Structure 1
Amino acid sequence: MFFPLNKRPTLSRLSFLLLFSVYIAIFLNLAFYHQVIAALPLDNLRNGLVFLSMPLVAVSVINIVVTVASFLLLDRLVIALFVLVSAAAQYFIWNFGVVIDRSMLVNILDTTPAESFALMTPQLVLTLLLSGVVMAAVAFWVRIRPGTPFWKSAVYRIVSVAASIICILLVASLFYKDYASLFRNQKELVKSLSPSNAIVATLSWYKHNQTQDLPLVKMGEDAHLAPAMQHGKKNLTILIVGETSRAADFSLSGYSRDTNPLLAKDDVAYFPHTASCGTATAVSVPCMFSGMPRARYDDALASHQEGLLDVIQRAGVKVLWNENDGGCKGACDRVPHQDMTSLNLPGMCIKGECYDEVLFHGLEQYIQQLQGNGVIVLHTIGSHGPTYYNRYPPQFRRFTPTCDTNQIQDCTQQQLVNTYDNTLLYVDYIVDKAIKLLQAHQDQFTTSLVYLSDHGESLGENGTYLHGMPYAIAPEVQKHVPMLIWLSPDYQSRYGVNKSCLDKLAAQDNFSQDNLFSTMLGLTGTLTRVYQQQDDILTSCRKG
């Protein structure tokens, strides 16, 4: 729709810049101020003054930026971008309690189209339309009053910038210690301030990506199979990489609901005290396959360094990665892998997403034709939200009522937990199905299985949903993950692993995704200098 020129609202450039600075700094940062109140109780006059000074500082900073941009005739563009970014950030911060940083930006970029569509709720569309798109359009629609001499307008804007700088300096002189204390103790709070959070995250992401084209760093070049693994019956291991399964809801962990009825009968060794490397797939998956412990994990190095599967493959083991979760994040780049989601199999796949049973498609034939030792990795979509109700077939809808919408914040806590627990019933079925597949081939192979989830999930506790919070402040449910190991009787006998010892070890000791690398090397009999015996879970339970 086109409006006559004389009906467009007209403002001086100075008023235009100040009004939009106020809109961005205050109205698109309500989520930030809400978090500030929680961290800085307004129970005394000084705290109240500190809080009131924050919008003043935010308006001043944004006014400086957009005013400088105005001298380059970029003010409308900068304002529109700030509005769109801030509106989107505020929605997700307010509704899901997320933190906008580089890790979250990576999660956004790695999100599949189906996952992105799952987040597109009517509430999101309406919010972004009204607070973002419409206001960005207004920034281009408003008419700047003509006729003002450039020098006069320039003087006004320079004075405006000077006033903003003075305002910032004044607040700093009065409340510097208060600001320093608040943001030192609440380091992640600043990541809720828009649009600076998105700008800093983007710059950090760009800087990090400059390392992507570095030469590949090899590891485990001395890898070879142990003699015991080279003779007699061949060995087959299935590694299931879980998605968003939190240990708190596994009945194997002591959860009151029976979410693992099948695995409870499979004689698995379950490890109830297991920590993840990160709180998002883009961090945890490359970390657990990298061979670097979380304390020294370098994602830039991991992006151009070989990992676990490269080493196992170099030892002569056939490796296959079946994918149902939008990508392996670099962990399978140099081994055979296939995207099972893209098969779009009838009855298994809906709108670009598939039930995890799709991972078994063609697997029986693959195993029958497998020559030599093998490792099969199944990367599940598991319990990925917010569309938990799409993660399991109807027959697994045991806990009701469920939350059958992507607007999970509108569901009751019980509905959300019911739906999530149903996803774990399906995870139980998938892992049990893999164990039964291995049992069916026990005459051909000595078999074993490892299941380890990449990270946990928040289900509305303390107003936090989904995952991806910075590790230092993430709730325990996002970091506490389920892990289990199943060893066939043949594996236990042939390689001298004491199952009772393993059960006792699992119940008493703390483990983490740091243990996966060397445990898988030990499990598959891969000998190499990069193997760390102390990190191999099976070490202390091996006879001899």
Structure 2
Amino acid sequence: MLKKINKLNFLALYISLVNLILYHFPFYKFVCENAELSSINGIVLLSSITILLIILNALVFYIGLFILRKVGKWILVLFFFINAIALYFINTYGVIIDKTMIGNILNTNFEESSSFLSIKMVIYLVFLGILPSVLLLKTPIPEVKFKKFMVTIGLTLLFVLSLAFANSSNWLWIDKNSKTLGALVMPWSYVVNTSRFYYHKSQKNEKQIPLPASKVANQEKSIFVLVIGESARSQNFSLYGYPKNTNPLLSKIENVKSYKAESCATYTTAGVKCILEYKNTGKLFEILPNYLFKNKDIDVIWRTTNWGEPTVRIKNFQDRKALKKLVNDDSYNYDEILLKGLKEQILASKKNKILVVLHTSTSHGPTYFKKYPPKFNKFLPVCTSVELANCTQNELINAYDNTILYTDYILATLIGDLKQLPEYNSTMLFLSDHGESLGEKNLYMHGLPVSIAPKEQLDIPFIVWVSKGTDQLKNNGILSQHHVFHSVLDFLDVESPIYDQNMSIYKAKK
């Protein structure tokens, strides 16, 4: 059929129609749920948006095919494939393809991205990626004279402007919902937001901005262990009133206090940055481990099974590959590997002040059931599919709750190890980079813009243990991730011009 199209403008229009029909169901679902389509104005809005989508996409495709010819055709093929993948994630996990999500995608490693592979994704790629691409590649590109090309562009732009002004009564609604609408238009949602992501990234400092020098006030032996959780939401911790006993060990340990807290982001890169920076400036200042590593009186240890943090420039940095060398069993598959040899590493330190950062990956989906050893498979049945909507919510929550149960074990084990170092004044602080959606409002995992993100993606645990008792801790209200930086400085007795005692969770020392 496409071979019979002998005019470039008709071919571009046809491709635009295919693009609209195949990849814009979520877009129209949103419009239908948020516009008053029972009114004349609502019908005009829906009709106008449809016409604009078809005409504007056709115009861009027309220009691209005229200028780039065969290269333009291959770019459209690439669009079809990415459209198919984007549509899979939107339909399956309820994601929004905005600048934030693009940053999340670009900071995802192979291990995480491969966990999303499924039969359903393959079906999307075959029917929405490969088949339309094959049809397009077999279609010749008609020739068009430059004069006619320019006339077509001019008349199309005139029509678009006329339609836009005729629909001025709906501009306010479009402006109000522009962020979500723009995130659902294919292929421009990811094209524009990828450009925005790299533009903003280029505006940031390539090197972390140095912070003023610090000094240690005394030589009391102190250890601060900061545990950065992954996708842990506070409402599934029994310490926060959850009816299922997901914290059987922490609930029995003395000197443990849990605060209410909110994350400043819904994806790892931004969440970890908030945890490690001294305040929210929008700039990349020296992060906590790099800042303290410059102090000759402080030893800094970083262990991670995760990724996405700002560049860590310290001597004692161990990722999963390095940690694997410490074990000879299958524990390297799970986050308890972060504790292997840690006590010995602390004892080997020649400094009295020690900061340990453990960056976990325990509760990251969609394969929650793979994030903990079999013996922690307590809450049954569990979801074993990466297509989370195919599981019952009970199965999904059970699998997730088992990751929290495992987190409880890791934290309790860590506290037990710190108790075996009585010569140190010790504390452990656990908080998450962000929360997680588990099917509420048909949303899954995380990554929605903070402005529209549900509380499940923002409410995080903030759990503290102190060796000398919780009377050292303030009774704060809802904390932020930025409390961490100043709390660390306070506990390790680090004097710095940027230290803010009001942002510390510890009471002022007498």
Say yes or no: TM over 0.5.
Answer: yes
Mark the CA change 1:236 to 1:322 in structure 2 (over 3 Å): closer, same or farther.
Answer: same
| CA deviation vs aligned residue, 1:287-345 (integer Å, no higher than 9, x gap) | 2211123xxx41xx21xx31212232233210010010135332x23453111256555
Aligned to 2:5: 11
The offset of 1:452, in angstroms, is: 0.9
For the pair 1:226 / 2:217, whether they are aligned, the reply is yes
The offset of 1:267, in angstroms, is: 2.4
Q: 1:519 aligned to 473, 483, 487, which one?
A: 487
| Structure 2: 5+ residue stretches without partners | none
Aligned to 2:305: 324
Q: 1 CA distance for matches of 2:53 and 2:376?
A: 50
Indicate conservation of the 8 Å contact 2:236/2:401, yes or no: yes
Indicate conservation of the 8 Å contact 1:240/1:380, yes or no: yes
Mark the CA change 1:138 to 1:171 in structure 2 (over 3 Å): closer, same or farther.
Answer: same
Which stretches of structure 1, 4 residues or longer, exceed 6 Å deviation after superposition? none
Mark the CA change 1:342 to 1:84 in structure 2 (over 3 Å): closer, same or farther.
Answer: farther
| CA deviation vs aligned residue, 1:466-507 (integer Å, no higher than 9, x gap) | 101101110011111000111102xx5xxxx725x64xx15x
Q: 1:400 aligned to 380, 388, 393, which one?
A: 380
Q: 1:119 aligned to 107, 116, 125, which one?
A: 116
For the pair 1:425 / 2:402, whether they are aligned, the reply is no
Aligned to 2:471: 498
Mark the CA change 1:269 to 1:168 in structure 2 (over 3 Å): closer, same or farther.
Answer: farther
After TM superposition, the score normalised by the length of structure 2 is: 0.93
Aligned to 1:380: 360
Q: 2 CA distance for matches of 1:422 and 1:70?
A: 52
The offset of 1:464, in angstroms, is: 0.7
| CA deviation vs aligned residue, 1:219-269 (integer Å, no higher than 9, x gap) | 031x11112xx14xx212211001100011111111111111111111244
Mark the CA change 1:20 to 1:417 in structure 2 (over 3 Å): closer, same or farther.
Answer: same
Q: AA paired with 1:19?
A: Y
Indicate conservation of the 8 Å contact 2:255/2:467, yes or no: no
Q: 1:284 aligned to 266, 271, 286, which one?
A: 271
Aligned to 1:458: 437
Q: 1 CA distance for matches of 2:110 and 2:402?
A: 24
SS in 2 for 1:498: helix
Mark the CA change 1:40 to 1:342 in structure 2 (over 3 Å): closer, same or farther.
Answer: farther
Q: 2 CA distance for matches of 1:334 and 1:19?
A: 56
SS in 2 for 1:392: coil
Q: 1 CA distance for matches of 2:448 and 2:429?
A: 26
Q: 1 CA distance for matches of 2:53 and 2:66?
A: 21
Q: AA paired with 2:115?
A: A
Q: 2 CA distance for matches of 1:218 and 1:249?
A: 38
For the pair 1:266 / 2:253, whether they are aligned, the reply is yes
Deviates more, 1:203-212 or 1:410-419: 203-212
Indicate conservation of the 8 Å contact 2:293/2:314, yes or no: no
Q: 1:248 aligned to 235, 242, 248, which one?
A: 235
Aligned length: 503
Aligned to 1:92: 89
The offset of 1:181, in angstroms, is: 2.2
For the pair 1:61 / 2:56, whether they are aligned, the reply is yes
Q: 2 CA distance for matches of 1:347 and 1:139?
A: 52
The offset of 1:49, in angstroms, is: 2.1
Q: 2 CA distance for matches of 1:167 and 1:83?
A: 27
Q: AA paired with 1:528?
A: S
SS in 2 for 1:188: helix
Indicate conservation of the 8 Å contact 1:92/1:98, yes or no: yes
SS in 2 for 1:187: helix
| CA deviation vs aligned residue, 1:440-486 (integer Å, no higher than 9, x gap) | 122x3221111111100000111111101101110011111000111
Aligned to 1:4: none
Q: 1:171 aligned to 149, 157, 163, which one?
A: 163
SS in 2 for 1:82: helix
The offset of 1:162, in angstroms, is: 4.1
Q: 1 CA distance for matches of 2:101 and 2:328?
A: 33
The offset of 1:387, in angstroms, is: 0.5
The offset of 1:174, in angstroms, is: 2.4
Aligned to 1:313: 293
Q: 2:455 aligned to 476, 481, 493, which one?
A: 476
Indicate conservation of the 8 Å contact 1:26/1:59, yes or no: no
Q: 2 CA distance for matches of 1:405 and 1:349?
A: 23
| CA deviation vs aligned residue, 1:80-110 (integer Å, no higher than 9, x gap) | 2332232222221222111112221121121
**CA-based RMSD:** 2.2
The offset of 1:416, in angstroms, is: 0.5
The offset of 1:398, in angstroms, is: 0.8
Q: AA paired with 1:527?
A: E
For the pair 1:217 / 2:209, whether they are aligned, the reply is yes
SS in 1 for 2:425: strand
Q: 1 CA distance for matches of 2:435 and 2:382?
A: 20
Q: 1 CA distance for matches of 2:48 and 2:85?
A: 25
| CA deviation vs aligned residue, 1:181-222 (integer Å, no higher than 9, x gap) | 23325633321212111112111122123246644421031x
Q: 1:196 aligned to 188, 191, 197, which one?
A: 188
Mark the CA change 1:335 to 1:56 in structure 2 (over 3 Å): closer, same or farther.
Answer: farther
Indicate conservation of the 8 Å contact 1:309/1:319, yes or no: yes
Q: 2 CA distance for matches of 1:180 and 1:349?
A: 56
The offset of 1:391, in angstroms, is: 0.8
SS in 1 for 2:463: strand
Deviates more, 1:451-460 or 1:362-371: 362-371
Q: AA paired with 2:330?
A: M
Deviates more, 1:267-276 or 1:34-43: 267-276
Indicate conservation of the 8 Å contact 1:403/1:416, yes or no: yes
Aligned to 1:40: 35
Indicate conservation of the 8 Å contact 2:2/2:11, yes or no: no
The offset of 1:355, in angstroms, is: 0.8
Mark the CA change 1:63 to 1:287 in structure 2 (over 3 Å): closer, same or farther.
Answer: same
Deviates more, 1:173-182 or 1:383-392: 173-182
Deviates more, 1:171-180 or 1:107-116: 171-180
For the pair 1:205 / 2:197, whether they are aligned, the reply is yes
Deviates more, 1:416-425 or 1:334-343: 334-343
After TM superposition, the score normalised by the length of structure 1 is: 0.87
Q: 2 CA distance for matches of 1:210 and 1:187?
A: 22
Indicate conservation of the 8 Å contact 1:341/1:358, yes or no: no
